[in-house]
């Protein structure tokens, strides 16, 4: 008998309460309801540690896990059936008993510049104040434009856009996918290619997380899975696992499929951009995890271990 019966029942999705998180959860809710007539899907808004801490860098409260830990606990305790995350917020190691049950088609993985005066990145005036909450972006931005004033800019997407519009910041760097999903595509001044700004691992992808032994949720979400997204994100997350890095360390990673080949690139640097290490490989998509692991190991051999140990 199929794990999805004629009466599919109910699904509770756990999500953060930000506008972007709600959009993502509502999108998955809508898709599930379309795929499975009669399925009742509700959202459970969970306040995470990352939501409670808005004053400074995430490293002060434990890195990227602060966005998912409380939701994973709700999954483990059975209070929710499915979690919808931005994959870039999900640590390499999941909480015990949980698994990524599906990765839907991936959106734009690039970073985007939002400039109050319409300047492209390389045209911003010397000393322009640029905001970001990511050490990965800080590192690469300082390498590209050491003359800019780079400062921490936290808060949801609306908050960050408002601070640029009000002139508090001259520009900000955000994920293009989040801006597109929230209808802010017209606010993007420039999409930055991966050569100049290597994206975060998993950026642009959604992660559907469930209990590893929940066959029903696996069956319900299976039609949402995308093979290409799974391949590229498996390579990137293998890279992250090999490095064992945290939000204290600027780490970037991006994989792309092109003409039947998988290209994987990784980056580790110092926040002040005094050292930036990059490695890339290409190979068969069937070897996605092995390629990601190898890129990570090559970065470690270049000297990434010393950076990771010092900053981690």
Tell the residue number behind the tokens 């999941």, with chain if given: 94
Reference 239, options 184, 190, 281; nearest CA is: 281
pLDDT for 246: 59
Residues 132-141: tens digit of each pLDDT: 989 999 999 9
CA-CA-CA-CA torsion sign (267, 170, 85, 80): positive
Q: What is the pLDDT of residue 309?
A: 87
Q: Write down the pLDDT at residue 66.
A: 74
Average pLDDT, the chain: 92
Q: How many CA atoms lie within 13 A of 253 on its CB side?
A: 32
89 assigned to active site? yes
Q: Is residue 298 scored above 80 in pLDDT?
A: yes
Write down the residue that tokens 């896990």 correspond to.
65
- Select which of 89, 108, 111, 170 is catalytic: 89
Is residue 42 within 8 Å of residue 60, measured between CB atoms? no
> Residue 36 to residues 13, 25, 85, 175, 217: CA-CA distances in angstroms?
15, 16, 21, 31, 12
12-57 pLDDT, tens per residue?
999 999 999 999 999 999 999 999 999 999 999 998 766 655 545 4
Go through the domains of the chain in sequence order and give each one's CATH number.
10-105+205-225 (3.40.190.10), 111-192 (3.40.190.10), 236-311 (3.30.160.40)
Decide if pLDDT at 249 tops 90: no
Question: How does residue 187 score in pLDDT terms, banded at 50, 70 and 90?
Answer: very high
Mean pLDDT of 86-102: 95
CA distance 43 to 103: 19
The predicted model gives 258-273 an average pLDDT of: 96
Which of 41-45, 69-73, 247-251, 265-269 is least confident? 247-251
Tokens read off for 131: 């905001």
């Amino acid at each position: 008998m199929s794990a999805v019966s004629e009466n599919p029942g109910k699904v509770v999705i756990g999500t953060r309460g930000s506008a972007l998180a709600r959009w993502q959860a509502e999108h998955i809710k809508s898709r599930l309801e379309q795929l499975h007539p009669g399925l009742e899907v509700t959202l459970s808004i969970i306040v995470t540690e990352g939501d409670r801490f808005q004053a400074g860098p995430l490293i002060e409260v434990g890195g990227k896990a602060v966005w998912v830990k409380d939701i994973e606990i709700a999954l483990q305790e059975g209070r929710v059936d499915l979690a919808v995350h931005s994959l870039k917020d999900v640590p390499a190691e999941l909480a015990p008993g949980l698994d990524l049950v599906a990765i839907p088609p991936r959106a734009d993985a690039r970073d985007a510049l939002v400039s109050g005066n319409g300047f492209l990145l390389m045209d911003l005036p010397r000393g322009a104040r640029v905001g970001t909450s990511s050490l990965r972006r800080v590192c690469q931005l300082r390498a590209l434009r050491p003359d800019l004033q780079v400062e921490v800019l936290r808060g949801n997407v609306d908050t960050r856009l408002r601070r640029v519009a009000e002139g508090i910041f001259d520009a900000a760097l955000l994920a293009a996918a989040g801006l597109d999903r929230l209808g802010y595509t017209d606010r993007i001044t420039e999409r930055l290619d991966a050569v100049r700004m290597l994206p975060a691992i998993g950026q642009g992808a959604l992660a559907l997380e469930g209990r590893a032994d929940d066959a029903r949720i696996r069956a319900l979400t299976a039609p949402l899975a995308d093979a290409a997204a799974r391949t590229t994100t498996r390579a990137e997350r293998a890279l992250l696992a090999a490095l064992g890095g945290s939000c204290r360390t600027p780490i970037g990673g991006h994989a792309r499929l092109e003409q039947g080949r998988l290209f994987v690139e990784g980056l580790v640097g110092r926040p002040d951009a005094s050292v930036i290490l990059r490695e890339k490989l290409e190979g068969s998509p069937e070897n996605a995890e092995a390629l990601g692991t190898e890129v990570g190991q090559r970065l470690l051999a270049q000297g990434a271990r010393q950076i990771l140990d010092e900053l981690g």
